[in-house]
Amino acid sequence: MDPDLDPGRSCPLHYHYGPEVLDRLPVAEAQTLLVVGGLYGNVDALNAILARYEAECRAATGPVRLVFNGDAHWFDVDPDAFQAVNLALAEQDAIAGNVEAELAAASGAGCGCGYPEYVDAATVARSNEIMERLRAVARAVPGSRNQLGNLPMHAVFSVAGHRIGVIHGDPESLAGWAFAAESLAPPDTALRTALGCAQARQTSPELVRDYLRRANVSVFASTHTCLPVAQGYRWDGGAGAVINNGSAGMPNFSGDLRGLITRIGASPAPDALYGIELDGLHCQALPVAYDHRGWLRRFERWWPAGSPAHRSYHPRITRGPVYTASQADRGFVRV
């Protein structure tokens, strides 16, 4: 463990990779790709997502892939639920998030979230507490730390002739925030004001285009930063996109209690909320309607009032964040 790390804020050195690593990975073909980030141990959302995957498989004429892109665990301090999530990770494609990385081997970075300075200290401290409790569960479930430690940090898929880079944070780091809704330029001023991060660093369209080029992908599918966003980019002779699903296992929009996953396909899904189309490639935000009442009962049993997860997440789980689908649906910007 590195004693210089600031738990919950720091990004450990081994989280860093750089976009070029994606250009060197083997590519898995898919007609449809479901990208599931931030399940956060919601086993009810997991059931709904696996049912959707089965339905997509029945409807498709080519391969359908489901990839978990990190933070599949978080609230699942019940050993049976923890094992159910691990089983899904083993049966499908999966990469690590900071939660899995820190469960496999504590780096001294607490939860490993790499929270930016505008996230308050109390929230960071509670995330570190959640991680400590989850670590005890991982230690008690045989083989799980090994399994999670063997997950890669990135994957590349080919859909409709486009290379898709699947990452957890951003193209630099497992816990990077460059693809947060509040970071991607052009800025959403109302959102940045609401989050108290008006001065936070912006990820310029030029930088995203550079990341796309260096990774040799048309699309980055990310998660990690908890709020969804889909941003397209056009430049002379080309186009690309970043799509961040927010959370598969928590509400993402005000008053909408569904989770959200990313669906990337050669044909669009009729029930998507919004998306970006790139030359025959549909990158869409797909809602996950799960048994919310059942999940809330579980959550409150595992994390009763006063517990760190309840204090940090109960308002969002019961009402959704102060954020709307129209804020996530950014359309294209010219580079």
Residues that bind Fe ion (CB under 5 A): 71, 97-98, 224
Task: Using the structure block, give the residue that is written with the tokens 């859909």.
Answer: 159
CB of 192 to Fe ion, least distance (A): 20
CB of 29 to Fe ion, least distance (A): 27
Decide: 31 and 60 in contact? Cβ < 8 Å: yes
CB of 1 to Fe ion, least distance (A): 19
Decide: 45 and 259 in contact? Cβ < 8 Å: yes
Nearer to Fe ion, 66 or 72 (CB): 72
CB of 71 to Fe ion, least distance (A): 4
Nearer to Fe ion, 39 or 278 (CB): 39
Nearer to Fe ion, 225 or 231 (CB): 225
Nearer to Fe ion, 33 or 111 (CB): 111
Q: How many CA atoms lie within 13 A of 163 on its CB side?
A: 17
List the beta strands (DSSP E) in 185-228. Answer: 219-222
Give the span between the Cα atoms of 273 and 271, in whole angstroms. Answer: 7
Closest residue to Fe ion: CB criterion: 224
CB of 77 to Fe ion, least distance (A): 17
Q: Compute CA distances 53 → 63, 133, 140, 224, 276, whole Å.
A: 11, 31, 30, 22, 21
Nearer to Fe ion, 74 or 233 (CB): 74
Phi and psi for 136 in degrees, rounded to 5?
-65, -35
